[in-house]
Amino acid sequence: MTSDHPDRAASSTAGLAAADRPIRLCVMTTVGGSIQVLYRGRLEYFQEHGFEVMAVCAPSELDDAIRARGVRLHTAPLARSVSPMQDLRACWNLRNFLSREQFDLIEVGTPKAALVGSLAARMAGVRPIVHILHGLAYEGQPGLTGRLLRAATMVPCRLADVTFAVSASARQAAIEDGLVASEQIRVLGHGSCNGVDLQRFTPVTAERRSAARAQLGVPVDAFVVGYLGRFTREKGLVELANAFSALRSRVSRLQLLLVGEFEARESLPVDVIERLKGDERVMLVDWQDDPLDCYAAMDVVALPSYREGLGNILPEAGALGIAAIASDATGCRDAMQPDVTGLQVPVRDTAALRDAVERLATDADLRRRLGGAGPAWVKERFDQRRVWDLFAEAYRRLVREVSD
């Protein structure tokens, strides 16, 4: 693994070089939800530390909320789905916008914004371009779809001045798959783009768990396996649903708490959806802007995903003192420590997932040990302030190198 820890002396020099005015930073994502969730607090930090931030995303009902955070917003006709004509319009829109604004640094993240934004920035002649590699969308995708997604992931890796991968395993996979040369992709610290807010994510007390369960209507003596995120195949929810069904009669107090929303892309099979919706021991909760109460109601957090950039719910659960069960997929294995903060299972292995759930349901001492190790492990690796510091230092250095 290659990690980049910019030294303090260099960053101080870079800061002095730009001290006469803020560094003008453009942050592009495909949808506003990424700015509101993935980048919670991040843009405000930049603005308080010598940057003037402009956010760019597709127009949505979140526009006012983004502007309320004190950052300027430009909307462009970006689409998550494959849409060649709309993508061309978005690229031209962004090329004109970037030519006019002349930012000091462009950051592109999430697949479509990374592809279209890096092309537009190159057309506008604006540099440096930073690509945040949040994951490898082509992993596990067969045939033409997989090849197209791989090419779309490769383009911003090649056009950017530097790619920052959010995990070491995502970096290694990108190199091995030929997307980018090893010297052009780095991991800042231990990974992540936004870290974990350790002021918010503090270990769950018994009182807090009881209150959260009362609010959600979860029995106080239930054993709750929880998941937060998109309800799709690639998140391993078919395997989780099947593991839960296999254990339902063997663990009498077992409950499943799923927080998020069903999606049309990579949708779950109809029979799995119907089974989840029809089971009184499965709670389906809409996505929460602040999911802390949902976390607090859980005994174990499960992420049996097929792929991740960095499985963010795993370090969040760790900071809360909640044991995890995760697959050994790209991005998951960086976000927990097997047999220290949680249990690891092979990708797509329903039997191993079932056994891991049953093991934690029946071994309270193991569950407490794994959960108890989480807060210190997460603080060492994913403290949000440290993650933000590393990005700010790296960005100041890039701006200085371009201006020299």
Beginning with the edge strand found earlier in the chain, give each strand of the sheet holding 342-345 in spatial order: 282-285, 254-262, 223-231, 300-303, 323-327, 342-345
Average pLDDT over residues 203-227: 96
Res. 83: pLDDT tops 90: no
Average pLDDT over residues 138-158: 93
Res. 140: pLDDT tops 90: no
Pick from 68-77, 78-87, 161-170, 328-337: least confident: 78-87
pLDDT score, position 9: 36
Cα–Cα separations (whole angstroms), residue 241 to 84, 246, 350, 399: 36, 9, 9, 48
- Measured between its terminal Cα atoms, the distance across the chain in Å is 29
Alpha-carbon distance 186 to 391, whole Å? 12
Helix (H) or strand (E) holding 72: strand 72-75
SS3 380: helix
Shared fold status for 3-195+383-403 and 206-381:
yes
pLDDT in tens, 277-302: 999 999 999 988 889 999 999 999 99
Average pLDDT over residues 32-47: 93
**What's the mean per-residue pLDDT of the chain?**
93
Average pLDDT over residues 162-177: 98
Alpha-carbon distance 49 to 67, whole Å? 19
- What CATH fold (topology level) applies to the domain 206-381? Rossmann fold (3.40.50)
pLDDT score, position 37: 87
Indicate the pTM of the whole model. 0.91
pLDDT score, position 39: 93
pLDDT score, position 318: 98
Q: What are phi and psi of 305, to 5 degrees?
A: -70, 155
Cα angle 348, 332, 33 (rounded to 5 degrees) comes to 105
Helix (H) or strand (E) holding 396: helix 384-403
R_g of the chain computed on alpha carbons: 21
Average pLDDT over residues 108-127: 96
CATH code reported for the domain at 3-195+383-403: 3.40.50.2000
Going from N- to C-terminal start, the domains of the chain cover 3-195+383-403, 206-381
pLDDT in tens, 222-273: 999 999 999 999 999 999 999 999 999 999 899 999 999 998 877 999 999 9
pLDDT in tens, 180-202: 999 999 999 999 999 999 999 99
Percent of the chain's residues with pLDDT above 90? 88
